[in-house]
């Protein structure tokens, strides 16, 4: 038989076999990440893991993060390790560690003053460091459990949740505590708006509510009570559509709330043990990360319409993250749990069509 004919037959057989496999449903590449598998064909167009940065000798829970965009540095609050790690994002490695802290939770980088603000749960302090030398500049003593932090670039204030119910205001020019807003319980995630009045929205799970704060009067003006869902920790904000995104842990649900009326528009099931949620205004997507081990993407089809478009397995306990809209990157903190290595996973985010 002519050799060219044999080669032709072989090519046809391979092609038919390939089509049969595709028809049989095995048309997706599956990558193993930790103990989970991910359907690459369904998720890679939205969430591409482009880098893994090891965090050697970091034990225990990892909490929140912030970024120095111009300097290409990531700051990580390592609560269980009593440390802050500084990561060079270009080199993909740690370049400095600040140790001897007391359960650091919240962290904020203020580029104008070149300072890093760290909220410590253990002793209720805020430590302020020079971001160039990493030297301690000042310590502010609060009552207890200093937690989530936000920097308001308009007012040049750092807000920090602490104690049995308060938001502290730190003037970044003087590094003095210049005010305090009383709340009805310990604050978890909160969002500050420049467009909406009143302008601060605070998750207060101990009070089973979302408290609405007037930033000018420094007082609560209204409250949105939780109904069928409880333990509201993570929160994000869509200022243009006046929508508040609140994640509850019991049950694991996302509530979309109309800020003007205080009413819940819709609810969606989300990953368990969620601790961070971000709204991507450019791509009209919401990102939720939870300790159950998933990174979830929810599409905003309209102000009142949402649906899940991707759910990528990550790692056990990987519940804290940071989305940076300026770079289109999402940083996910993976703790050293269940034999896995502590690391930062970096994802590139795109619109899911």
Q: Are residues 264 and 341 in the same domain?
A: yes
Instruction: Decide which of 186, 205, 235 is a domain's last residue.
Output: 186
User: Is residue 11 assigned to a domain?
Assistant: no
349 or 17: whose pLDDT is higher?
A: 349
Q: Which helix (H) or strand (E) holds 6?
A: helix 3-23
User: Is residue 330 assigned to a domain?
Assistant: yes
Residue 47, pLDDT score: 85
Give the range of the structural domain holding residue 259, as residue numbers without chain letter.
30-57+226-353
Q: Of the candidates 236, 272, 271, which has an alpha carbon nearest to the alpha carbon of residue 256?
A: 236
What CATH code is carried by the domain that includes residue 35?
2.130.10.10
Q: What's the pTM?
A: 0.87
Q: Are residues 125 and 143 in the same domain?
A: yes
Residue 3: CB atoms within 10 A of its CB come to 7
Question: Is the pLDDT score of 16 beyond 80?
Answer: no
> Residue 209 in contact with residue 220, Cβ under 8 Å?
no
- Helices and strands counted in the chain (H then E): 2, 30
Average pLDDT, the chain: 89
Classified as helix, coil or strand, 9 is: helix
Two tokens, residue 186? 């310990």
Residue 239, pLDDT score: 97
User: Is residue 219 assigned to a domain?
Assistant: no
User: Is residue 10 assigned to a domain?
Assistant: no
Q: Are residues 180 and 275 in the same domain?
A: no
Q: Are residues 49 and 65 in the same domain?
A: no
Task: Name the domain count of the chain.
Answer: 2
Q: Of the candidates 236, 202, 242, which has an alpha carbon nearest to the alpha carbon of residue 219?
A: 202
CA 343 to chain centroid: 15
Rg from Cα positions in the chain: 23
Q: Are residues 322 and 351 in the same domain?
A: yes
Nearest-angstrom CA–CA distance, 42 and 347: 15
> Residue 80 in contact with residue 63, Cβ under 8 Å?
no
Strand segments, DSSP code E, in 15-82 are 30-33, 36-39, 47-54, 65-68, 73-78
User: Is residue 290 assigned to a domain?
Assistant: yes
Classified as helix, coil or strand, 111 is: coil
Question: Is the pLDDT score of 175 beyond 60?
Answer: yes
Interacting residues of 22 by C-beta distance below 8 A, sequence separation 6+: none
Residue 281, pLDDT score: 97
Instruction: Decide which of 186, 201, 216 is a domain's last residue.
Output: 186
**Interval 104-131: pLDDT, tens:** 999 999 999 999 999 999 999 999 999 9
Q: Are residues 141 and 236 in the same domain?
A: no
Task: Kindly state the percentage of the chain with pLDDT values over 90.
Answer: 84
């Amino acid at each position: 038989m002519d050799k060219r004919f044999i080669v032709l037959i072989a090519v046809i057989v391979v092609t038919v076999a390939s089509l049969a496999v595709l028809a049989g449903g095995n048309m997706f590449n599956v990558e193993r990440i930790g103990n989970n598998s991910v359907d690459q064909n369904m998720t890679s167009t939205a969430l591409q893991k482009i880098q893994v940065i090891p965090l050697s000798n970091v034990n225990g829970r990892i909490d929140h993060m912030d970024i120095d965009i111009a300097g290409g540095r990531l700051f990580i609050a390592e609560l269980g390790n009593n440390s802050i790690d500084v990561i060079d994002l270009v080199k993909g490695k740690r370049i400095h560690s600040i140790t001897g802290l007391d359960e650091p939770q919240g962290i904020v980088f203020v580029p104008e003053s070149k300072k890093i603000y760290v909220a410590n749960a253990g002793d209720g302090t805020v430590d302020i460091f020079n971001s160039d030398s990493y030297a301690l500049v000042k310590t502010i003593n609060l009552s207890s459990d200093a937690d989530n932090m936000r920097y308001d670039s308009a007012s040049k204030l750092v807000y920090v949740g602490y104690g049995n119910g308060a938001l502290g205001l730190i003037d970044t020019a003087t590094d003095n505590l210049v005010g305090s807003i009383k709340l009805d319980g310990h604050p978890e995630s909160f969002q500050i708006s420049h467009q909406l009045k009143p302008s601060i929205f605070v998750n207060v799970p101990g009070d089973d509510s979302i408290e609405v704060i007037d930033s000018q009067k420094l007082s609560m003006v209204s409250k949105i009570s939780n109904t069928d869902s409880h333990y509201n920790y993570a929160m994000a904000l869509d200022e243009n559509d006046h929508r508040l995104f609140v994640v509850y842990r019991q049950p694991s649900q996302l509530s979309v709330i109309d800020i003007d009326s205080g009413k819940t528009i819709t609810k969606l099931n989300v990953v368990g043990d969620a601790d961070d949620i971000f709204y991507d205004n450019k791509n009209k997507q919401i990102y939720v990360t939870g300790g159950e081990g998933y990174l979830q993407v929810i599409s905003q089809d309209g102000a009142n319409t949402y649906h899940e478009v991707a759910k990528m397995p990550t790692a056990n306990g990987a519940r804290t993250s940071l989305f940076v809209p300026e770079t289109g990157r999402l940083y996910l903190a993976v703790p050293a749990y269940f034999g896995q290595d502590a690391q930062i996973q970096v994802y590139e985010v795109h619109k899911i069509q």
